[in-house]
Amino acid sequence: MEEVIKIDKSEVMPLLPLRGISIFPGMLLNFDVERSISVTALNTALGSDQLIFLVAQKDAAKEMPAEDDLYRIGTICRVKQLLRVPGGPMVRVMVEGIRRAKLINLTSESPCFFAKIESIFDEPCETLGVRTEALLRRCYGLFDEYISLSGTASPETLASIVSRDDPGYVSDFVAQNVYLRHSQKQILLAETNPVRRLELVNRFLKREIDILSIEQGLQERAHEQLSRNHRTYFLREQMKLIQAELGEGDEQNELEEYREKIVDMEFEAEVEEKLLKEVTRLSKQHHSSSEAAVIRNYLDIVLELPWKKTTRETLDIAKAKKILDDDHFGLEKVKERVIEFLAVRQLAPGMKGGVLCLVGPPGVGKTSVAISIARATNRKLARLSLGGVHDESEIRGHRKTYVGAMPGRIINGMSQAKSKNPVLLLDEIDKLGSDFRGDPSAALLEALDGEQNYAFRDHFLELPYDLSDVFFITTANTTDTIPRPLLDRMEVIPIGSYTDEEKLQIAKRHLLPKQRKKHGLKAVQLKLSDDAIREIIALYTRESGVRILEREIAAVCRKTAVLIAEEKCKSQNIKSGMLEAMLGAPRYKPDIARSADEVGLVRGLAWTSVGGETLDVEVGIVPGSGKLELTGNLGNVMKESAHAAITYIRSRSDVLGIDSDFYKNKDIHIHFPEGAVPKDGPSAGMAICVAVISALTNTPARRDVAMTGEITLRGRILPIGGLREKTMAALRAEAHTVIIPSDNEKDIEEIDQTVRGALNFVLADHVDNILDIALARTPTAATDDKANSRKRAEIVIQDSAEHSAPVNMCQ
């Protein structure tokens, strides 16, 4: 049914915008007016017929509304009373609503709003029917319930409308005296059908009653809780007084502090329940008992752990690169792996921590790299030295029931870092031992496994602790002593020994500035030329890392400091040849090439813990009964290589031009100089074989060729390790050609660029293929032998203009 609105003639009258309130026809309303334009509208109304049009603003916060900011339906009111409040522009006004009206448009905005309006009348209401009577009774009941719940109106308010049977008046009265939202009141103002308006009022009233019921229920529960809290408070205060009299007050305070800390830290249900049980157990113990001390120590350690505290990671790759480059020269693989880790964290923030194992000889910077990684990622660092640890409890902790029990090193490291996502450095993991007290490496399996370390259980804590956000970094000198299951959980990154050129750069960029600062010297007071640093490296150190080099530079700084302190000089500019006065006579002599090729003397290559070394093989042949003598403090593997070489030579004696009965009528003596140094490993097999062939054929071996490789009974050459260090040793010994197994071709890219540019590399898969290169044969002998042997091995790499000129590291 369409609305039928009776409209009186339009008229113009002052308009007053209302903020946050509304008025219905037939109702009285008191409110304060402060805006000058609204005060002017009231004065204008008083000066004429006391009529004014009141309409609500859509946005109550708007100070000066425009026409679009006003609702269209308002109320024509009569100003009943106007009272000016002393001391300000505010006036208090009382108005009476007369009838609804519709805003047509604003005719003027100065000195106040004037509006053209049209009156709106309610639709005629038919005789009071059963449905309307039911709606009225429903409205009386709801209004009565609202009054009792809200307490904002007196019971007499209901009595003033019970006798009225006008649905329009009743709905307007209730709407005026009930809290409704602004939009709801506007809906009621716009409704001209009294019965429908009454239905809307009932609906709004029911919703408000439901809200008030919920509020009242919440208030009652809050009051009950408050009453319980008050009761508990008074009881606790009385208990404190009693305990104070008994001297037990401090103990109760301590228990409350523990409970508050446990609740505030928002543990998981299992952890919180366990800790609260411990507090309850503590409350039942005598304050000075040993059991109370154990529980107190346990709670203190658990609550100090960083259960949820994390540090914000730096995922800025450029910044991380700069930090790593500033701290370390070289080590590209390690830096690349750290940058990869940060890049993945940027794209997948939920990725958990990893496990890196830095493997390399002493002094190459494994520990300092881990410290730099912590700086680059902005994580806390905790360092745990595992060297010499034999007890499994050192890792997993002791049961707290034991006297002097403490958590393991992993949990101690977390407590030390005070962060849930630190860099945890497990130093010297290859030095772990095992005995009757257990195997510590087995205890590390759970901590380093990303699939299960989210619930690592320390024996002391007896609670699951999350280690999945920890970035584990382990260091080792070798992987040989690390158990396979533990090694399988780690990503191994080898760090090789430094070349002499790398040591030079490290000394210039890091070691020399560090030692100058440590000894109070300025850059102008001590200068070391590049040649002087090279001299220290070649003649005073023999190491894979730079520790001894740093100590020698520190010695130079001390000597310089003495000279400056005694005022014998103001500065030192040290060049090559000036070091003997400061550091004494050189400790090492550089390997130099022999003056001539010799029979039975071949230069092999060996890997040691301090880098690569040359290893000469000497073979002597004398008449005898076929005795094989091996000397030089050799291990079993190297002795087996010598026997394999002899067997191969016997099988090829016809091709090599050797007496087939040499193993019966000649004694062979194979010797490795420096007999006090133990030697072992299979990679000397090729050098032994060539040296024996040289001695048996009386053919000199070339002095500028070095070689490494394991041989088989059939003369095949198998791959070896440590190629990077061995080739550096070959360069220092002034070798020009290095023979390596064909299977090691993939390792050539890891060799330092300077070394690659200075050496010729020959790849060989069989001894027959290298004899022309390794032995200095006469042209005739060489031609004859070529006819009977397989083709010569290919020289695969000989860098020329692409690389820098060869650098003699020993000068």
Distances (CA, A) of 496 to 332, 339, 356, 726, 751: 11, 20, 16, 11, 10
CB 240 within 8 A of CB 233: no
Give phi and psi for 738, each to the nearest 5. Answer: -125, 125
Instruction: Return the closest-CA partner of residue 366 out of 492, 487, 501, 482.
Output: 492
Scanning 247-268, the segments in alpha helix (DSSP H) are 249-264
Residue 654 three-state SS? helix
Question: What sign for the dihedral angle of Cα 515, 516, 517, 519?
Answer: positive
Cα 504 from chain centroid (whole Å): 34
Give Rg (Cα) of the chain. 48
Largest Cα separation within the chain, whole Å, is 148
Residues contacting residue 453 through CB under 8 Å, at least 6 positions apart: 446, 447, 466, 467, 468, 470
Q: Tell me if residue 419 is catalytic.
A: no
Rounded CA-CA distance 260/92 in Å is 53
Beta-bridged to residue 628, according to DSSP, are 668
Which residue type does 523 have?
A
Residue 627 three-state SS? coil
Residues contacting residue 500 through CB under 8 Å, at least 6 positions apart: 534, 537, 538, 728, 732, 807, 809
CB 760 within 8 A of CB 795: yes
- Under DSSP, the state recorded for 493 is E
Strands (E), 734-791: 737-741, 760-764
Residue in 726, 742, 786, 791 annotated catalytic = 726
Residues contacting residue 22 through CB under 8 Å, at least 6 positions apart: 56, 75, 182, 185, 186, 189
Pairing of strands 471-476, 423-427: parallel
CB 188 within 8 A of CB 201: yes
Give phi and psi for 570, each to the nearest 5. Answer: -100, -25
- Under DSSP, the state recorded for 509 is I
Residue in 372, 641, 683, 694 annotated catalytic = 683
Pairing of strands 611-623, 666-671: antiparallel
Beta-bridged to residue 603, according to DSSP, are 616, 706
Q: Tell me if residue 726 is catalytic.
A: yes
Please name the helix (run of DSSP H) or strand (run of DSSP E) that holds residue 601, with its range, or none: strand 601-608
Residue 703 three-state SS? coil
Q: Return the half-sphere exposure (C-beta side, CA atoms, 13 A cut-off) of residue 284.
A: 6
Active-site residues: which are they? 683, 726
